[in-house]
Structure 1
Amino acid sequence: MKRTHAETDALIALLDIGDGIPGGQELRRRSYQLLDLAPGSAVVDVGCGSGRAAAEMSALGVTAVGVDPDERMVAVASERWPAVDYRVATAEELPFGDAELRGYRADKVFHVLDDPARAVDEARRVLAPRGRIVLVGQDWDTIVIDSDDPALTRTIVQAAADRIRGPRVVRRSRNLLLDAGFTDVTVEVHTWIFTGSTMVPMLADLAAKARTGEATSDARTETWIADQRARGEQERLFLALPMFVTAATRRA
């Protein structure tokens, strides 16, 4: 579904929060390590968003291209990081020739795809033999939040998962890569823990969307959001987000 500019800008604001937290920075660095790219190697960042990862990889000496289907995202990325090549393209139809790339990275992307297997096949096509693929994502059923209303919290987490095309695709990622003929498949989990106010906007957004979807009442949701905001201000919030990193090598 095509986003409005306002929806894209709101998503960029959330991505900026995630990019700026220490856990986000560490996870990006780990994904670059797993790509194992030599200087000058060509790599694509699929679903590049506002462009930070492609810019960081370029700064490491590789030839990075960021692609995203959202024209507004690509425009923002190009404005922020003008020295990097950003293009409008989808994960299913990448603007590269066969075996052109040494690295493929997709961060928080596969859960929005209609056909992740097709995207993996396209990754295999553009990767050279022994090229590396790294997929980063979360399992939307495993957002862990402490609250005084655990029943509502379960409802909010479930409502968030129900809005996602592939909320549990990270559970399939290893098999998707194996089915496509990739080798050396590994899976890591990195859990982000938040106790302050940083992620309160994300929690408020999840709760508001659950309310809009009539999963809960306005008054109960506002109480839940206020509780999370107060916890964050007192450094008493507890939010755990397990992030899964699946990496593999294209068969020679």
Structure 2
Amino acid sequence: MSTLLAMLDAFDDLPQVRDLRERSYQALGDTVVDVGCGGGRAVGELVARGVRAIGIDLDPAMIEIAIERWPTSEFHVADATALPLDDGSVTGYRADKVLHVLAEPERAVIEARRVLAGNGRAVLLGQDWDTFVIDSDDPELTRALVHARADGMPNPRVARRYRNLLLDNGFTDVTVEVHTIVRTDATSLPMLANIGGAGAWLDDQVARARDDRLFVAIPIFLASGIRAD
């Protein structure tokens, strides 16, 4: 299992994240495409609810894992900006933790509108990579590390643009919610290592986890809108 998938699995197992995932499934209808599906958990959960769910990911290795985990579900290797779906063929579109890796996220939103039927719902979820909150003995270094990690991505702050992306690309009844995920145990250490790397800063976080003093808060943005005819 890749380090990325292991981190995603640990994050998706959190009770707060499970609740948020459930909320993201609301009003998506009976045919849903999950873009950036990763290991396929959302697809499997939607299928278990009687929905026809289609998982899309650009990474063939992720799709292989998704098929292995959810063998009765449908998965395809494809780009978020060129989905292998007909116009108006789905009632729901879901993209979770994916737009920040796209150079032109608006193209994915345009593609979402194309594949959605009239009155279909699009749901966008993700974190703003500049707004991770991490308690530390060195707040200035922590701020620098968080921002450096964010700046290594194509669109680290796209989540704060979700509402405008939907409004500007043919969606109405747009809403936005913010759900803060709080982590206080060692399960967050791989994520913190990904941000700070080995050294004194990470050693401090390891000690905090050992002493039950670790604190990480991650605001997750959930935006949704209806395809305007």
Q: How big is each residue's C-alpha offset from its partner over 1:215-244, in whole Å with a ceiling of 9 and x where there is no partner?
A: xxxxxx511111101111222111010000
CA RMSD of aligned residues (A): 1.1
Residue 136 in structure 1 maps to residue 125 in structure 2: yes
How far apart, in 2, do the equivalents of 1:101 and 1:44 lie?
A: 7
Q: Structure 1-normalised TM-score? A: 0.89
- In structure 2, C-alpha distance between the alignment counterparts of 1:45 and 1:200, rounded to whole Å: 28
Partner of 1:3 in structure 2? none
Give the alignment's TM-score, normalised by structure 2. 0.97
CA contact 1:99–1:127 (8 Å) conserved in 2: yes
Name the SS of the counterpart of 1:103 in structure 2. Answer: strand
- Structure-2 separation of matches of 1:104 and 1:174: 15
Mind listing any 5+ residue stretches in structure 1 that lack a counterpart?
Answer: 1-7, 209-220
Q: Determine the structure 1 residue equivalent to 2:228.
A: 251
Q: How does 1:99-110 map to 2 (within 5 A)?
A: 99-110=88-99
Q: Give 1:162's match in structure 2, choosing from 151, 156, 164.
A: 151
Shift of 1:27: 1.1
Where 1:152 maps in the other structure, the secondary structure is helix
Q: Is the 8 A contact 1:43 1:105 kept in 2?
A: yes
Letter aligned with residue 144 of structure 1: V
* Moved segments of 4+, more than 6 Å: none
**In structure 1, what is the equivalent of residue 81 of structure 2?**
92
Name the residue aligned to 1:16: 9
Task: Look up the match of 1:211.
Answer: none
| CA deviation after TM superposition for structure 1 residue 196, in Å | 1.3
CA contact (8 A) 2:28 2:93 kept: no
Is the partner of 1:54 in helix, strand or coil?
helix
Does the 8 Å CA contact 2:162/2:223 hold for their aligned counterparts?
A: yes
Residue type of the partner of 1:66? G
Runs of 5+ consecutive residues of structure 2 not aligned to the other structure: none
Match of residue 199 from structure 2: 222
Of residues 96, 111, 116 in structure 2, which corresponds to 1:122?
111
Asked if 1:239 is matched to 2:179, the reply is no
Q: How many angstroms apart in 1 are the aligned matches of 2:133 and 2:172?
A: 32
Q: Deviations over 1:180-213 (max 9, x none)?
A: 12000000000011111110111012111xxxxx
Match of residue 67 from structure 2? 78
Please tell me whether residue 192 in structure 1 is matched to residue 149 in structure 2: no
Secondary structure at the aligned position of 2:143 is classed as helix
Count of matched residue pairs: 229
- In structure 2, the residue matched to 1:31 is 24
Tell me if structure 1 keeps the 8 A contact 2:129–2:150.
yes
Give 1:225's aligned amino acid: L
Q: Is the 8 A contact 1:37 1:62 kept in 2?
A: no
- Determine if contact 1:137/1:244 at 8 Å carries over to the other structure: yes
Structure 1 contact 196–234 (Cα < 8 Å) conserved = no
Q: Deviations over 1:80-110 (max 9, x none)?
A: 1101101101110001000000000000000
Do the aligned residues in 1 keep the contact of 2:128 with 2:157 (CA within 8 Å)? yes
The question of 1:57 aligning with 2:46 is answered yes
Checking the alignment, whether the CA contact within 8 Å between 1:136 and 1:246 is kept in structure 2 is yes
> Does the aligned pair in 2 maintain the 1:147–1:227 contact within 8 Å?
yes
In the other structure, the counterpart of 1:5 is none
Determine the structure 1 residue equivalent to 2:55: 66
Separation in structure 2 between the aligned mates of residue 243 and residue 80 of structure 1, nearest angstrom: 26
